[in-house]
């Protein structure tokens, strides 16, 4: 299969929890690039989801790369387990880490890709001094905690600014966006600077998953053709 310049990660949060194994296989058949796992602790975000055990249980159902998004306080406590469960990318929230640099080092030491996620209100300067250690920056395009929310339009400018910083600082990291991503805004976010789209409702939430992924990819590539960066 041809490599697309923009990666599409499907958020398991929107999958059918009663048959997750099947959903993971369905995602692979539909042409997804990764599975995105939203871990929530009911403290950092006002919702609970699942832990590393679910990630581990799904590892044998697909060969898609696993991308863990930790919306929890003390994320350091789950890193080892998530790596053992087969996660290839681990993202922690800047707002959830008192010692962000240490958390990133912990992830890197486990030999996987390290990412930092930023809530909509968090400035990009909060990752300025850890940028060179990062493999991924996740700009949240909704307030984290729930699927099915609307994309916050003001985040387009934030994505553009983040891309500018990555270019200027010559940092080779994914710029991911997560929350409210649909075929209607995919081209715009990619055009602004994103190269990894996380989508739940617009993928698992639709009856024809293959068609949903194809539509997202088509729009993402349309945006990529017009990118400024």
Query: Which partner, ligand DX5, Zn ion, none, binds residue 134 by CB below 5 to 8 Å per kind?
Result: none
Query: Catalytic positions, please?
Result: 38, 178
Placement of tokens 């990062």 in the chain: 134
72 binds ligand DX5 (CB under 6 A): no
CB 97, min distance to ligand DX5, A? 17
149 contacts which partner out of ligand DX5, Zn ion, none, CB within 5 to 8 A by kind?
ligand DX5
Give the 3-state DSSP-derived string for the chain, with helices as H, strands as E and coil as C: CCCCCCEEEEEHHHCCHHHHHHHHHHHHHCCCCEEEEEEEECCCCCCECCCHHHHHHHHCCCCCCEEEEEECCCCHHHHHHHHHCCEEEEEEEHHHCCCHHHHHHHHHHCCCEEEEEECCCCCHHHHHHHHHHCCEEEEECCCCCCCCCCCCCCHHHHHHHHHHHHHHCCCCCEEEEECCCCCCCHHHHHHHCCCEEEECCCCCCCCCHHHHHHHHHHHHHHHHHCCCC
Give, as ranges, the residues between 23 and 42 that touch ligand DX5 (CB under 6 A): 36, 38
Q: Which is nearer to Zn ion, 93 or 217 (CB)?
A: 93
Per-residue interface string for the shown chain with ligand DX5, residues 99-128, x marking contact by CB under 6 A: ------------------------------
Q: Which of 145, 161, 171, 229 binds ligand DX5 (CB under 6 A)?
A: 145
Q: Does 74 contact ligand DX5 by CB under 6 A?
A: no
Contact of residue 191 among ligand DX5, Zn ion, none (CB under 5-8 Å per partner type): none
Measured from the CB atom, the residue of 1 and 18 that comes closer to ligand DX5 is 18
Q: Measure the CA–CA gap between 12 and 130, rounded to whole angstroms.
A: 28
- Among ligand DX5, Zn ion, none, what binds residue 179 when CB lies within 5 to 8 Å by partner kind? ligand DX5
Per CB under 5 A, which of residues 7..66 are in contact with Zn ion?
38
Residues near ligand DX5, by CB under 6 A: 11, 13-14, 36, 38, 69, 142, 144-149, 178-181, 198-202
């Amino acid at each position: 299969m041809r490599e697309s310049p923009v990666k599409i990660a499907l958020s398991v949060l929107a999958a059918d929890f009663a048959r997750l194994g099947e959903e993971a296989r369905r995602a692979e058949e539909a042409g997804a690039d990764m599975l995105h796992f939203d871990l929530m602790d009911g403290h950092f975000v006002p919702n609970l989801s699942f832990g590393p055990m679910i990630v581990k249980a799904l590892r044998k159902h697909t060969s898609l790369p696993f991308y863990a998004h930790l919306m929890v306080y003390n994320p350091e406590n789950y890193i080892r387990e998530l790596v053992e469960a087969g996660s290839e990318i681990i993202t922690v929230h800047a707002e959830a880490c008192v010692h962000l640099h240490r958390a990133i080092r912990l992830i890197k030491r486990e030999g996987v890709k390290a990412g930092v996620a930023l809530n909509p209100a968090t400035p990009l300067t909060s990752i300025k001094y850890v940028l060179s250690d990062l493999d991924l920056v996740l700009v949240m395009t909704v307030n984290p905690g729930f699927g099915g929310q609307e994309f916050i339009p003001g985040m387009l400018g934030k994505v553009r600014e983040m891309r500018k910083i990555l270019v200027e600082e010559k940092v080779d990291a994914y710029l991911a966006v997560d929350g409210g991503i649909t075929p209607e805004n995919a081209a715009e976010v990619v055009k602004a600077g994103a190269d990894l789209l996380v989508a739940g409702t617009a993928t698992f939430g639709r009856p024809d998953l293959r068609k949903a992924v194809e539509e997202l990819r088509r729009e993402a590539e349309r945006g990529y053709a017009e990118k400024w960066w």
